[in-house]
Amino acid sequence: MYANSEGLARLINWMPSLEAVRTLSLQAGDKHLHFPPDVVKRVLMQLPGLTSLALDGKKVTAACLKLVPPRAGALKELSLSADSYHPEEAKLVLRSAPNLERLALPAYSDMTMACNALQLSRGGGEPLVTELIFKDHWSSMSPSTFSQLGDQFPELSTLDVHRVGLSSSILAAAFAPMPRVRVLKISKLCGYDGHVTTAKFTDFLSLLVAACPQLEELAVKHGVHHISGREHKAGKTQDPFPAAQGCFLQLPPSLRTLDLQDMRLEPDDIDASMLPNLKRAKFTNCGQVAKLEEIKRGLLTHCKRLQPSEVTVSEKVGSYFGY
């Protein structure tokens, strides 16, 4: 719902029991349309029993976050956007949240700090976090940060990352095992003005697939780099997509859903005989349609739980910018 400061105050006053409120998701807005920080503070101070808290907007200041730790003991879900994330104050919140199970942060967050803070909240015990989400659109997670998540969050079962920056990063020698991860989603791997090389693409995904032996749902989208109108007029064209080159051959038999986008696939890049539990497959902008249809036929032959209607092959023409 949308409300101004007065409307939010009336809503709070109308509630028969503020102690019974368990969920707060607040978009505090920006400089043009917002709740002032004092309003955010008053709301937080009046809701002592929250188990789920999501804060977004530039008006969620560090001073606002300082009010959360005394009320964080029962939190199971916490979401801080790039605008509402303040590292030192976020650390204090995590130190006070021993029961946290779902955590959403900007991709540039210090996850070693987050892990240590949660361990401290549990008297040295491992974090209980089962779901990690990094969905901000303007920053990317480094492969080195990605590679350590399995050690830092051993209970992790769902990992959803908007962007991993491979353009200029050096990959780790191996990823920490993530034996409990069932759902893995990566929405973008390419840089702003260029695509990832095939070597970096395949190295990263080979390491990642090997680290997730119980994976049930995998979605990987390389993305498309930006071409400005001026660059287009000057003759710049879209980079070729990276080739898979066998990086998906080690997909585990537990896999049920596969969603791949913006890459080049060959018929021998996926071993259908190793995917007996596959129920859904989607290939978008993944190379020549004839080759994708061959992959589809192989999947339908070997994956007995897969129906023809659950295999989608589609091709986008040109770039996402209209040329």
The string of pLDDT tens digits covering residues 267-285 is: 999 999 999 999 999 999 9
Number of domains in the chain: 1
Q: Which CATH number goes with the domain that contains 197?
A: 3.80.10.10
Name the phi and psi angles at 55, rounded to 5. Answer: -125, 135
290 within some domain: yes
Domain residues for the domain of 244 are 21-226+239-314
Strand-pair partners of 26 = 55
Note whether residue 14 is domain-resident: no
Element (H, E) at 65: helix 62-65
Asked if the structure places residue 15 within a domain, the reply is no
In a domain, 6, yes or no: no
How open is the CA angle 197-199-201, to the nearest 5 degrees?
Answer: 70
Looking at the domain assignment, is residue 12 inside a domain?
no
Question: What is the structure's pLDDT at 4?
Answer: 56
Residue 283 falls inside a structural domain? yes
Q: What's the predicted TM-score (pTM) here?
A: 0.90
The answer to whether residue 233 sits within a structural domain is: no
Average pLDDT of every residue of the chain: 88
Between 160 and 24, residue with greater pLDDT: 160
Residue 5 lies in a domain: no
Specify the pLDDT at position 120: 97
Residue 236: alpha-carbon gap to chain centroid: 31
